[in-house]
């Protein structure tokens, strides 16, 4: 324990001299950022906020989800001599944050109903000895036992209070929690202790309310930009939304994501439907038991299940950093919720997609939901917020600009990465595409639905396409475009009244009066470039996909050992940097974002060894010199190497080499080669029959049916040792490919 001493005055200019602040750490915030968290620079306001807190002042922080609020109080907590109390509304968040801190060698704990009596008494012992730096608690706990706990805290040396999700205190906000109201008494109990209040969403009315209610002492407010550059926003009309969802998921193979639905029932229905399409998902809603919810959440967090279909009950406090997409099947109640829910994507800074299906019917439906009993005033606020949400969807203004303006921020440009911007910038002469689609409808005698027409256009070899259709000249004329692109173009053609859908349970595509002009070539049509596919960011260097996969496996083992989610060990972006910059020693490793001293000490050697043996095998050397010290604000700027590795395997396979031979030639592991071949089934380059006998295939298929699941683990367990993961994956991919052809037969 040190008192701030004269000889540090120079270096530690962030300490006000007129204040006697007892300091624990001699390191500056920046040094701590590096040594404890492994990051090389602060983001936006972080450093200013930290300095302010260190001066003992009250601070209000408005920063978007994923912006890095936690560090703003965690670093002061390490510098202050005493204890920092973090008040947070959700238990899941506490555990994750505390686990992550502990992995960085920081003494942290949480108190809530999930911990045992022994753990609790142990925590109190540590608290009494000033051996905990950060304690996470709920507001209820703070004021529990008639203020006894508060009195107890007064006997400790509390240096700082951090109030997370501070908007919960205000009824102007969208997530008012009555238990937060008690926090109005906090300041009067701890007159001299600085308070930092943090939130990711608050309009100006809510902001003022938070400051008043917390009675902060001439607080300084720090507002960070709410722009989440790496999230791309898409809003589409709610038509055939399930099919659209499948297309969307197809574009995100292997990615982790959240799909929000309005009701418990629609959540369950969607999970079932996806299951029938061989996509494993779990549900999360208030109708499940606590155990079920915990279990599903854990499966998702540990990447055992990649898709969570949830009501809004899910998410607050979910710190999973590699969520690649968020889909809203139904309309959120307000822009704050939309922003917060979509904000759960891409916390690691990598490109992520937010897709919302909008219909006016949803607005009508929600009108009933936003009424708050016995509170006319609040009902009116909620209704106004709902109308703004609808306006956001209907507006033709850049989505990002609209969102930022809503939160009081200027955004001068067009973002180029939302559906509106993309529409505007990417229209093209689509006459030929339209002619192809319309001729297909003519050839199919206006008797088939969209999916059939698309499969026909793309020349699908599915049995569902009638054999005489396969003889037609138009069959396969649209093979150059993907399913998703065809969907989008056909929808546009319907919007332009060049095609129409018949009424009834199985709508079929019909021509309209306007179709003839296109077919005869007298009219032109401008189409909108396909949505959902945004331009890739320019990358600095490429990373080794195979190494990345190996590193993921190792991370998984480490996570299982430590009983924490994988991303708590290190983020995906960190693994990508490892696989791109190929560090060869601890010093080089320390330049990788996310490796602080403790993590280097704990896990450095394991990861280095893997990188090293990969490099030896492939004759590669370190790329660390390419790493810019100034990391771009968001994203790693590294992209995967092109799919050449699959092609190389395919080439050898086609030349008659066995898997063993390919392994030797390519110097790769068996599971890697088998993985390539299984992947090649999806692209139709390899047929399942080439890899596995028909008996084995039948058995695996049966196991899949019984488990109505294509997660590999349960099937492998059921089948036992005679069947490898690769064989199971091959069959799963085969089934998946088959499933893609969903046709509506008239
Ligand atoms: P918030 O609470 O604002 O939603 P977090 O505090 O959870 O965000 O931070 C989001 C992610 O960004 C975390 O993985 C965190 O470790 C990381 N992070 C925060 N600050 C920095 C920084 N200065 N450099 C790199 N990564 C950072
Ligand atoms: Zn835009």
What secondary structure does DSSP assign to 14-59, as a single string? TS-TTS--EES--S-HHHHIIIII--SS--TTHHHHHHHHHTT--E
pLDDT one-digit tens code per residue, 329-372: 999 999 989 998 999 999 888 899 999 998 878 888 898 887 77
CA of 419 to the centre of ligand 2 (A): 7
CA of 536 to the centre of ligand 2 (A): 15
The domain 541-640 having CATH identifier 1.20.990.10: the answer here is no
Task: Mark the ranges of the chain whose per-residue pLDDT is less than 50.
Answer: 1-22, 424-425, 530-540, 630-637, 642, 740-746
Tokens at 699, concatenated: 């058995």
Ligand 1, atom 13: nearest CA belongs to which residue?
Answer: 68
Q: What angle do CA 462, 466, 472 make, to 5 degrees?
A: 105
CA of 502 to the centre of ligand 1 (A): 51
CA of 232 to the centre of ligand 2 (A): 8
Task: Answer yes or no: are the C-beta atoms of 714 and 707 closer than 8 Å.
Answer: yes
Ligand 1, atom 27: nearest CA belongs to which residue?
Answer: 68
Tokens at 145, concatenated: 């036992």
Task: Answer yes or no: are the C-beta atoms of 548 and 587 closer than 8 Å.
Answer: no
Question: Which of 142, 49, 136 lies closest to 86, judged by CA?
Answer: 136
CA of 230 to the centre of ligand 2 (A): 12
Cβ-proximal residues to 351 (8 Å cutoff; 6+ apart), any chain: 230, 232, 534, 536, 537, 635
Tokens at 681, concatenated: 């089934």
Which ligand has the minimum distance to the alpha carbon of residue 72? 1
Range 578-587 burial, b when 16+ CB lie within 10 A, else e: bbbbbbbeee
Tokens at 149, concatenated: 């706990």
The domain 8-223 having CATH identifier 3.40.50.10280: the answer here is no
CA of 162 to the centre of ligand 2 (A): 35
pLDDT one-digit tens code per residue, 129-187: 999 999 999 998 888 888 899 999 999 999 999 999 999 998 877 778 888 888 988 99
The ligand 1 atom nearest the CA atom of 67 = 3
Q: What does the alpha-carbon distance between residue 679 and residue 643 come to, in Å, rounded to a whole number?
A: 11
Q: What does the alpha-carbon distance between residue 313 and residue 281 come to, in Å, rounded to a whole number?
A: 16
Q: What is the pLDDT at residue 484?
A: 64
Question: Which of 56, 6, 49, 9 lies closest to 29, judged by CA?
Answer: 49
CA of 218 to the centre of ligand 1 (A): 27
Q: What does the alpha-carbon distance between residue 351 and residue 231 come to, in Å, rounded to a whole number?
A: 6
231-423 fold: Rossmann fold (3.40.50)
CA-to-CA dists, residue 509 to 440, 730, 732, angstroms: 10, 36, 32
Question: Which of 110, 161, 162, 154 lies closest to 132, judged by CA?
Answer: 110
Question: Which of 463, 471, 462 lies closest to 444, judged by CA?
Answer: 471
State the DSSP code for 177. -
Question: Helix axis angle, 335-342 relative to 376-394, nearest 10°?
Answer: 60
Q: What is the C-alpha R_g of the chain?
A: 28
- Its pTM stands at 0.56
Range 53-77 burial, b when 16+ CB lie within 10 A, else e: bbbbbbbbbbbbbbbbbbbbbbbbb
Ligand 1, atom 17: nearest CA belongs to which residue?
Answer: 68
Cβ-proximal residues to 438 (8 Å cutoff; 6+ apart), any chain: 493, 498, 499, 511, 515, 518, 519
Q: What does the alpha-carbon distance between residue 738 and residue 742 come to, in Å, rounded to a whole number?
A: 9
Task: Answer yes or no: are the C-beta atoms of 582 and 622 closer than 8 Å.
Answer: yes
83: left (phi over 0), alpha (psi -120 to 50) or beta: beta
Q: What is the pLDDT at residue 6?
A: 36
Helix (H) or strand (E) holding 301: helix 290-301
Q: What is the pLDDT at residue 1?
A: 32
Exposure of 558 in the CB half-sphere (CA atoms within 13 A): 20
Task: Answer yes or no: are the C-beta atoms of 311 and 285 closer than 8 Å.
Answer: yes
The ligand 1 atom nearest the CA atom of 200 = 3
Residue 233 pairs in a beta bridge with: 354, 418
Q: Ligand 1: which residues within 6 Å by Cβ?
A: 39, 42-43, 46, 63, 65-71, 319, 321, 347, 571
- Return the best residue to mutate from 71, 90, 317 for the ligand 1 pocket (most ligand atoms within 8 A of CB): 71
The ligand 1 atom nearest the CA atom of 42 = 23
Q: What does the alpha-carbon distance between residue 337 and residue 406 come to, in Å, rounded to a whole number?
A: 13
Residue 698: CB atoms within 10 A of its CB come to 11
State the DSSP code for 129. T
Q: What does the alpha-carbon distance between residue 163 and residue 215 come to, in Å, rounded to a whole number?
A: 13
Q: What is the pLDDT at residue 320?
A: 85
- The pairing of beta strand 2-3 with beta strand 158-163: unpaired
Which ligand has the minimum distance to the alpha carbon of residue 234? 2
637: left (phi over 0), alpha (psi -120 to 50) or beta: left
Q: What is the pLDDT at residue 278?
A: 83
Q: What does the alpha-carbon distance between residue 440 and residue 434 come to, in Å, rounded to a whole number?
A: 10
- Return the best residue to mutate from 61, 66, 68 for the ligand 1 pocket (most ligand atoms within 8 A of CB): 68
Which ligand has the minimum distance to the alpha carbon of residue 344? 1
Residue 352 pairs in a beta bridge with: 231
CA-to-CA dists, residue 567 to 88, 119, 559, 572, angstroms: 21, 25, 8, 7
Mean of the per-residue pLDDT values of the chain:
83
CA of 421 to the centre of ligand 2 (A): 4
Where are the chain's structural domains? 8-223, 231-423, 427-526, 541-640, 645-745
- The pairing of beta strand 108-110 with beta strand 256-260: unpaired
Torsional sign, CA 717, 718, 723, 727? negative
Q: What is the pLDDT at residue 643?
A: 60
Task: Answer yes or no: are the C-beta atoms of 392 and 233 closer than 8 Å.
Answer: no
- Per CATH, the number for 427-526 is 1.10.10.10
Q: What does the alpha-carbon distance between residue 272 and residue 276 come to, in Å, rounded to a whole number?
A: 6
Q: What does the alpha-carbon distance between residue 4 and residue 18 come to, in Å, rounded to a whole number?
A: 12
Equal fold, 8-223 vs 231-423: yes
Residue 284 pairs in a beta bridge with: 310
Which ligand has the minimum distance to the alpha carbon of residue 93? 1
Range 218-234 burial, b when 16+ CB lie within 10 A, else e: ebeebbbbbbbbbbbbb
Task: Answer yes or no: are the C-beta atoms of 525 and 434 closer than 8 Å.
Answer: yes
Question: Which of 325, 241, 313 lies closest to 283, judged by CA?
Answer: 313
Burial class (CB in 10 A: 0-12, 13-18, 19+), 117: exposed
Tokens at 289, concatenated: 């038991």
Range 135-174 burial, b when 16+ CB lie within 10 A, else e: bbbbbbbbbeeeeebbeebeeeebbbbbbbbbbbbbbbbb
């Amino acid at each position: 324990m040190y008192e701030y001493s004269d000889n540090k005055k120079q270096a530690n200019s962030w300490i006000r001299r007129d204040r006697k602040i007892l300091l624990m750490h001699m390191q500056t915030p920046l040094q701590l950022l590096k040594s404890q968290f492994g990051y090389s620079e602060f983001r936006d306001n972080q450093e200013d906020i930290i300095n302010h807190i260190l001066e003992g002042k009250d601070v209000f922080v408005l920063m978007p989800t994923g912006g890095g609020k936690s560090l703003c109080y965690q670093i002061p907590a390490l510098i202050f001599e005493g204890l920092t109390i973090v008040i947070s509304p959700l238990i899941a968040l506490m555990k994750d944050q505390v686990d992550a801190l502990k992995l960085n060698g920081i003494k942290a704990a949480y108190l809530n109903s999930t911990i045992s009596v022994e753990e609790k008494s142990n925590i109190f012992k540590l608290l009494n000895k000033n051996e905990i730096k950060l304690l996470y608690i709920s507001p209820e706990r703070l004021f529990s036992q008639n203020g006894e706990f508060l009195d107890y805290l007064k006997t400790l040396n509390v240096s700082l209070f951090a109030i997370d999700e501070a908007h919960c205190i205000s009824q102007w906000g969208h997530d008012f929690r009555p238990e937060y109201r008690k926090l109005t008494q906090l300041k009067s109990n701890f007159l001299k202790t600085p308070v930092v209040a943090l939130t990711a969403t608050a309009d100006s009315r809510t902001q003022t309310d938070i400051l008043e209610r917390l009675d902060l002492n001439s607080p300084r407010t720090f507002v960070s930009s709410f722009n989440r550059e790496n999230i791309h926003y898409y809003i589409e009309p709610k038509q055939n939304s399930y099919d659209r969802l499948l297309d969307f998921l197809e574009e995100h193979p292997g990615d982790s994501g959240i799909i929000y639905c309005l009701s418990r029932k629609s959540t369950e229905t969607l999970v079932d439907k996806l299951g029938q399409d061989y996509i494993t998902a779990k549900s999360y809603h208030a109708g499940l038991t606590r155990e079920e919810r915990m279990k599903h959440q854990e499966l998702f967090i540990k990447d055992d299940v990649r898709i969570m279909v949830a009501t809004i009950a899910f998410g607050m406090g979910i710190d999973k950093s590699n969520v690649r997409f968020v889909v809203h099947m139904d309309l959120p109640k307000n822009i704050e919720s939309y922003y917060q829910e979509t904000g759960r994507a891409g916390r690691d800074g990598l490109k992520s997609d937010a897709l919302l299906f909008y219909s006016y019917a949803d607005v009508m439906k929600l009108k009933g939901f936003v009424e708050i009993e016995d509170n006319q005033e609040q009902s009116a606020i909620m209704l106004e917020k709902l109308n703004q949400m609808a306006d956001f969807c209907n507006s033709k203004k850049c989505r990002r600009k609209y969102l930022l303006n809503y939160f009081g921020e200027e955004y001068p440009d067009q973002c180029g990465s939302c559906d509106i911007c993309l529409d505007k910038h990417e229209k093209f002469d689509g006459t030929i595409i339209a002619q192809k689609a319309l001729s297909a409808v003519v050839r199919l005698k206006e008797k088939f639905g969209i999916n059939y027409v698309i499969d026909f256009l793309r020349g699908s070899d599915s049995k569902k396409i009638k054999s005489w259709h396969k003889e037609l000249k138009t069959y396969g004329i649209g093979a150059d475009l993907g399913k998703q692109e065809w969907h989008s173009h056909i929808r546009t053609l319907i919007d332009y009244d060049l095609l129409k859908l018949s009424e009834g349970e199985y709508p079929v595509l019909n021509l309209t009066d306007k179709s003839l002009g296109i077919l005869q070539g007298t009219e032109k049509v401008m189409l909108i470039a396909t949505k959902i596919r945004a331009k890739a960011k320019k990358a600095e260097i490429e990373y080794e996909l195979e190494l990345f996969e190996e590193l993921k496996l190792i991370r998984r083992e480490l996570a299982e050992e430590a009983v924490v989610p994988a991303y708590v060990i290190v983020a995906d972006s960190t693994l990508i940097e490892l696989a791109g910059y190929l560090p060869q020693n601890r010093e080089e490793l320390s330049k990788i974002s996310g490796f602080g001293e403790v993590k280097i000490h704990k896990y450095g050697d394991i990861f280095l060894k893997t990188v090293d043996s990969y490099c030896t095998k492939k004759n590669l050397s370190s790329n660390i010199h390419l790493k810019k010290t100034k990391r771009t604000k968001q994203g790693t700027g590294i992209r995967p190497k092109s799919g050449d590795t699959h092609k190389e395997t395919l080439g050898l396979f086609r030349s008659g080499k066995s898997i063993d031979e390919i392994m030797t030639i390519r110097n790769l592991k068996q599971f890697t080669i088998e993985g390539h071949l299984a992947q090649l089934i999806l692209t139709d380059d390899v047929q399942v029959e080439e890899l596995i006998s028909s008996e084995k295939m039948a058995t695996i298929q049966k196991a899949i049916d019984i488990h109505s699941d294509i997660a590999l683990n349960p099937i492998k367990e059921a089948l036992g040792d005679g069947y490898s993961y690769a064989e199971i994956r091959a069959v799963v991919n085969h089934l998946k490919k088959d499933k893609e052809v969903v046709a509506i037969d008239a």
